Amino acid sequence: MTSTSLKSTTQAGQAADTANSLRTLYFVRAAFSIIWVILVALLAKTSSGVASVLLIIYPAWDVFGTILDIRAQSTGTSKMPQYINAAISTITTIAVALALQKGVPEALMVFGAWAILTGLIQLILAIKRRKTLGGQWPMIISGGQSILGGSSFIVLAHDPTMGITSLAGYAAFGAFYYLLAAYRLGKMRN
C-alpha cells in the first residue's frame, strides 16, 4: 500500500467516523427542538416565566450542541467556525436573559441577531462539509433559512402578535432539517 492510498484510506475512515457522529448528533438536536416546540406550544402562553426560561434555554442548548459538534469532527479540519458559534451562543444566552428584563420584543431582537449569525456559520460550515461528507444540503438550506428567520424576528419584534410562540416554527423547521441531514448522512454511509 502506498502512502497516498494509506492517506486516502485514513481520510475516508475519518470522514465516515465524522459522518456517523454527526448523524447521531443531528438526531439528538432534532429531538431537543421537537421537545422545545412542544413545551412552547403547551406552556408559553400560560406562563411568562416558563416562556422566558424556554427562550434562554434555546441558545444555551446550541452551546452544548456545538461542543458535541466539535467533538464529532475529525482531527485535521478547522473547528474555528464551531468555536465562534459556541461563543456567539453563550453571549446570546446571557443577552436574551438581560433583554427579557426590558421585554419580549427586545429578547426577540437578540434572538434574531443570534439566528442570523449562527445561520451564517451553519451555512459556511455545511458548504465546507459537503465536500468531504456529503449529505449537507439540509444544513445549507437551514443556515439560509436561519438568516431569513432571524431577520424577520428583528423586523417583526414589536408586532403585538409576536412572542416566543412565533419561534416555535423556526425550531420546528430546524428539527426537520436536522432529521433530513441525519437521514442523508446515513444514505451517504451506505
Lowest mean pLDDT among 14-18, 54-58, 160-164: 14-18
| Choice between 68 and 72, residue whose per-residue pLDDT is larger | 68
- The pLDDT value recorded for residue 139 is 87
Look at the chain and report how many structural domains it folds into: 1
Q: Is residue 99 part of a domain?
A: yes
pLDDT at position 16 = 78
Tell me what the mean pLDDT of segment 117-131 comes to: 89
- Between residues 187 and 82, the one the model is more confident about: 82
**Would you say residue 30 has pLDDT above 80?**
yes
Is there a contact between 27 and 182 (Cβ–Cβ < 8 Å)? Answer: yes
How far apart CA 135 and CA 95 sit, in angstroms, is 33
10 vs 90, residue with greater confidence: 90
Q: Of residues 19 and 8, which shows the higher confidence score?
A: 19
Range of the domain at 112: 21-189
Residue 9 in domain: no
In terms of Cα–Cα distance, which of 164, 141, 137, 142 is closest to 153?
A: 164
On whether residue 5 sits in a domain, the answer given is no
Considering the domain boundaries, does residue 161 fall inside one? yes
C-alpha grid cell, residue 34: 421537537
Rounded-to-integer distance, Cα 77 and Cα 97, Å: 34
* Position 6 in a domain: no
Give the separation between CA 129 and CA 77, rounded to whole angstroms.
10
Q: Return all residues near 122 (Cβ < 8 A) that are at least 6 apart.
A: 85, 139, 142, 143, 146
Task: Establish if 60 belongs to a structural domain.
Answer: yes
Q: Is the pLDDT of residue 187 over 60?
A: yes
C-alpha to C-alpha distance for 1 and 113, rounded to whole angstroms: 51
Alpha-carbon distance of 88 to 67, in angstroms, equals 13
